[in-house]
Copies of this chain bind each other. A is one copy, B any other.
Amino acid sequence: MNDLSTAAVPTLEQEWSTAARIARSAAATDSRYAPNAGFHRWFADRNAHAQNDVRPIPLDALVGWSADPSTGNLAHDSGKFFTVEGLDVQIPDSPVPHWTQPIINQPELGILGVLAKEFGGVLHFLMQGKVEPGNVNGVQLSPTVQATRSNYTRVHAGRSVPYLEYFRQAERHRILTDVRQSEQGSWFYRKRNRNMVVEVTEDVEVLDGFHWLTLGQLHALLRVDDVVNMDARTVLACLPFSGDAGPLAARPTGDDTGGDDGDDGFRAALLRSCAGGAGEEGSTDGVLRWLTGVRSRSEVLTSRIPLNALEGWHRTEYAVAHDTGRFFELIAVDVRAGSREVQRWTQPMIRPCATGIVAFLVKRVDGVLKVLVHALVEPGYLDVAELSPTVQCTPENFGHLPPAALPPLLDVVREAGPERIRFDATLSEEGGRFFHARNRYVIVEVGSEDLADFDHPDYHWMTMHQLADLLRHSHYVNIQARSLVACLHSLSGRPPAA
């Protein structure tokens, strides 16, 4: 039982202090406890030694996985991990009112946990250099712990998951974030992971393959293609980030967040957006009512069907693919790993047929940055629609349709000149389930008067503070939007000297 009158609930002052400490870590673009130079050596070394040999194999060559004789659904022989099934989707009154598709059903709640600790008064985060079979490259930075329940109950008889107890016994430590969030609603059926950041004060042994980094260091790495993995991005996005370094900002850090840096005021507008402001409180109710309206208007009827009952999909020796060659394929891979819990295994994966575009359009309104979010319906969501990037699509999937069928505002993103582009990196999606799945993550700033004639009931301008408010809850902000939130946070720091 938790009695708020007596339990160790943080006070308002402590909450604020957490935000200030996070801002201070964001401002630290280097660390004397974990210098950039050392990190890059470690990362290169890790890449050189952590090898994965991944080869597509025939679906029938999966070992430890079986297709149900009547449904064709793929399941692990242990009954754990995940299954690949079919999904029948009906969205009446929509452009595509009915379709079927393969989908990953993973009802287990996993943990994505990042360990945090102060060194020299600056929060550092313990990241893992991890190889996943679906990565296009080798190692990417992942959370300290990235584990399904099957992982940590050791279904596959691998080694125990290091650092897991910090998250299973989180109440013994200081919890900075603990919220369950959804993952890709087009590929996962109602999957959720628990996004956690737990701060400790005790000594932590740094195992092989792990490295401390400040938030500012992570922000710099986020701007590099395919380095910070999806699981790390979603956890970082859920940090209580206000950008406000508070009274601690006065401490000499060598990386203070003040000033305008000649960036034409973008940073200041972003920080104001993160901080929230007077008079904004009531507007969260406006956002909630808008979303209630969208979720009420949209009727989504999904039912799980046998994988062998899909329409418009066909099975070859190596894949279940859409007849048009678009969207994605279900494939199987054989993995030989050097540094995973087990050394060799096979598994099904989803391979998207092209790289997607994930973009926020942002603009300044009265000096405050606003983000244009889209309440997007995806069949795997628990609750109809989630707040998504302004644009989230794979243009190739629309190749057979007239240009007018392309998602709204895609042209604005594609045609944005370099002076409009605030962030642009190609980042990987979850390499444990998706094979070479990448999206170009873009943040485009439009003029304050632009898009004045764009009036669509499924889109809404929001501040970062409003998004952060909703990120405390489940089922509001989708995983692509969470990645972009982390990318926006990465723009809050003073840019490195030219």
Whether B296 pairs with A5 at a CB distance below 8 angstroms is: no
Whether B473 pairs with A295 at a CB distance below 8 angstroms is: no
- Residues of chain A in range 262-300 having any CB-CB distance to chain B below 8 Å: 278-279, 281-283, 285-290, 292-293, 295-296, 299
Whether B194 pairs with A296 at a CB distance below 8 angstroms is: yes
When chains A and B are docked, how far (Å) is the Cα of A175 from the Cα of B279?
19
User: What distance in Å separates the Cβ of A266 from its nearest Cβ neighbour in chain B?
Assistant: 18
Known contacts A14-B282, A366-B5, A370-B5; is-contact A474 B383 (Cβ 8 Å): yes
Whether A289 pairs with B11 at a CB distance below 8 angstroms is: no
Q: How many copies are assembled?
A: 2
For residue A203, CB closer than 8 A to chain B, the reply is no
- Residues of chain A in range 438-482 having any CB-CB distance to chain B below 8 Å: 454-457, 459-463, 472-475
When chains A and B are docked, how far (Å) is the Cα of A372 from the Cα of B1?
9
Whether B107 pairs with A459 at a CB distance below 8 angstroms is: no
Whether B455 pairs with A1 at a CB distance below 8 angstroms is: yes
Closest residue of chain B to A455 (Cβ to Cβ) is: B1
Whether B462 pairs with A286 at a CB distance below 8 angstroms is: no
For residue A35, CB closer than 8 A to chain B, the reply is no
**B-chain residues with CB within 8 Å of residue A282 when the two chains form the complex:** 9-12, 14-15
For residue A337, CB closer than 8 A to chain B, the reply is no
For residue A70, CB closer than 8 A to chain B, the reply is no
Whether B180 pairs with A4 at a CB distance below 8 angstroms is: no
Query: Which residues of A are at the interface with B, using a C-beta cutoff of 8 A?
Result: 1-5, 7, 9-12, 14-15, 107-109, 149, 171, 175, 178-180, 194, 278-279, 281-283, 285-290, 292-293, 295-296, 299, 301, 365-366, 370, 372, 382-383, 454-457, 459-463, 472-475
Given contacts A9-B286, A194-B292, 5 further A-B contacts (CB under 8 A): A1-B372, A15-B285, A109-B296, A175-B289, A179-B289
